[in-house]
Amino acid sequence: MAKRTARRAARRMQEHVHYGEESNVRRLFDEPQWSPMDENKYDRQNQNRGPNRGESDQKYRKNIRAQNDSQQKMLDAIDEDPLVFACGAAGTGKTYLAIAKAVEALDSGAVRRIILSRPAVEAGESLGFLPGDMEEKLSPYLRPLYDALCDRISSKRLKALMAEGVIEIAPIAYMRGRTLNNAYIVIDEAQNCTYGQLKMLLTRLGWNSSMVVTGDPAQSDLLPGMSGLADVVEKLENIDNVSAIRFTREDVVRHPLVAEMIDAL
Which region among 62-66, 157-161, 171-175, 211-215 has the lowest average model confidence (pLDDT)? 62-66
Which has more pLDDT, 90 or 171? 90
Final residue of a structural domain among 31, 57, 83 = 57
Does residue 64 lie in a domain region? no
* Domain-terminating residue out of 34, 57, 80: 57
92 plus 14 within the same structural domain:
no
The pLDDT of residue 135:
65
Check whether residue 23 and residue 81 sit in a common domain: no
Asked if 202 and 237 count as a contact pair (C-beta separation under 8 A), the reply is no
Instruction: State pLDDT tens for residues 3-39.
Output: 666 666 666 655 554 444 444 444 444 445 555 555 5
Same domain, 134 and 6: no
Of 32-41, 151-160, 198-207, 225-234, where does mean pLDDT reach its minimum?
A: 32-41
Q: What local confidence, expressed as pLDDT, does residue 112 receive?
A: 95
Asked whether residue 63 is assigned to any structural domain, the reply reads no
Are 31 and 117 contained in the same domain?
no
Are 21 and 75 in the same domain?
A: no
Query: In this structure, how many other beta carbons lie within 10 angstroms of the beta carbon of residue 237?
Result: 15
Mean pLDDT throughout 174-197? 91
Element (H, E) at 2: helix 2-18
Phi, psi of 230 (to 5 degrees): -60, -45
pLDDT at res. 7 = 67
Task: For residue 26, tell me if it sits in a domain.
Answer: yes
**Shared-domain flag, residues 35 and 126:** no
Evaluate whether residue 62 is within a structural domain: no
Task: Tell whether 220 is covered by a domain.
Answer: yes
Confidence band, pLDDT 50/70/90 cuts, at residue 210: very high
Same-domain pairing of 99 and 133: yes
pLDDT in tens, 128-176: 566 666 666 666 767 778 888 888 888 899 889 989 999 987 778 788 8
165 occurs within a structural domain = yes
How big is the CA angle at 231 (ends 229 and 236), to the nearest 5 degrees? 95
53 and 84 in a single domain? The answer is: no
Q: So what's the pLDDT on residue 15?
A: 53
Instruction: Specify whether 138 is located in the same domain as 43.
Output: no
Statement: residue 188 has pLDDT above 50: yes
Mean pLDDT of 242-262: 86
Point out the domain boundary residue: 57, 81, 100: 57
pLDDT at 6: 65
Please tell me the total count of domains within the chain.
2
Cβ–Cβ under 8 Å, residues 60 and 153? yes
Mean local confidence (pLDDT), 110-138:
72
Binned at pLDDT 50, 70 and 90, residue 254 comes out as: confident
Q: In sequence order, what are the beta bridge partners of 194? A: 227
| pLDDT over 70 percentage in the chain | 68
Residue 29: the pLDDT is 45
Cα separation of 244 and 87, whole Å?
A: 7
Q: Is 147 contained in some domain? A: yes
89 and 9 assigned to the same domain: no
- Name the average pLDDT for the chain: 79
Q: How many helices (H) and strands (E) does the chain have?
A: 9, 6
Residues 83, 209: contact at Cβ < 8 Å?
A: no
Residue 248 lies in a domain: yes
Q: What is the mean pLDDT of residues 29-50?
A: 50
Number of neighbouring beta carbons within 10 Å of residue 25: 8
Of 86, 171, 58, 194, nearest in space to 120 by CA: 171
pLDDT value, residue 221: 78
Provide the residue range defining the domain that includes 6.
2-57
Q: What is the CATH number of the domain that holds 160?
A: 3.40.50.300
Q: Same domain, yes or no, for 238 and 157?
A: yes
In this structure, are 214 and 238 located in the same domain?
yes
Backbone angles phi, psi at 79, to 5 degrees: -70, -25
